[in-house]
Amino acid sequence: MLDEKDWELFKQKLKMKTGIDLNLYKANQMQRRIGNLMTRHGSTSYVAFFSSIENDKQAFANFIEYLTINVSEFFRTPDKFSQLETTVIPDLLKKSSKLNIWSAGCSIGAEPYSMAMILKEMTPMSKHRILASDLDIEIITKAKKGVYSDNELKSISADRKRKYFTAEADKFAVLPEIKSCIEFKQHNLLKDRFETGFDLILCRNVVIYFTEEAKDQLYRDFFAALKPGGVLFVGATEAILNFRNMGYESYLPFFYRRPM
């Protein structure tokens, strides 16, 4: 049975140390997720679990990575990336020759690197800006390195794998010309200020554990961060049912546009 005082104190301690506010996440799912880790760790209370890992840098980093669900792959949902290439980006390029793009919740970097490859092929002479952010500083470090296993590249075509990666033992490293296209930074979507003026924002498979209130505010903040005519791209299970109430117009399935 859940001890509410234990849970509340755990949330307070986590917020003080990391800025992560679990009140903005679905309680049942987060309690179950953290509880699974506690069981494996042999802890019987949330506070005891926190105390056992807060001064162990690696253990705490592993916990944050587990908590923030860093699952990603290159060109995830290939049919949607195909729409980006054939429709979304060509439409955006009609308005601006240099695009300002944000991969929000970029995890291991697969998404922003995928975008860089697409833009390299579509506009080889143009220099666009791709901002990639994540809550987890450890995962950003991995993303910056740009080194991946063969399994992490499973959705990449053989041609792109050959063009944009070099083999390093049993790993594959993103070429410097692609790495140099990405600006990485740590950012808390539920707390930190948003930049503005984006042509395209990708936030996919990030909000799974957010409360409905937190998601609603996040999508409103994204709307404010987009240029008129800018597009928000969400995950294939994250359709925004009340998008019109926020000011968006429907563009393509899972793509929402701020009107001109």
- Specify if 93 maps to a domain: yes
**Number of domains observed in the structure of the chain:** 2
Does some domain include residue 73? no
Block residue for tokens 């308005």: 95
Residues 134-144 pLDDT 10s: 998 888 999 99
Say if CB 52 and CB 43 are below 8 A apart: yes
Assess if residue 53 is contained within a domain: yes
Regarding whether 135 and 109 lie in a shared domain, the answer is yes
pLDDT tens, residue by residue, 92-103: 999 999 999 999
Whether residue 49 sits in one domain with residue 153 = no
Mean pLDDT of 88-113: 95
Structural domain span for residue 221: 78-257
pLDDT given at position 252: 94
* 153, 248: one domain: yes
* Domain-embedded: residue 72: no
Which runs of consecutive H residues, i.e. helices, occur in 146-247? 158-164, 176-179, 212-225, 243-246
Q: Do residues 37 and 93 both lie within one domain?
A: no
Query: Does residue 116 belong to any structural domain of this protein?
Result: yes
- Give the distance, in angstroms, between the CA of residue 159 and the centroid of all CA atoms in the same chain: 26
CA atoms of 134 and 74, how far apart (whole Å): 16
> Residue 1: pLDDT above 80?
no
Confidence band for 39, pLDDT divided at 50, 70 and 90: confident
Tell whether 158 and 85 lie within a shared domain. yes
96 contacts 199 by C-beta, under 8 angstroms: yes
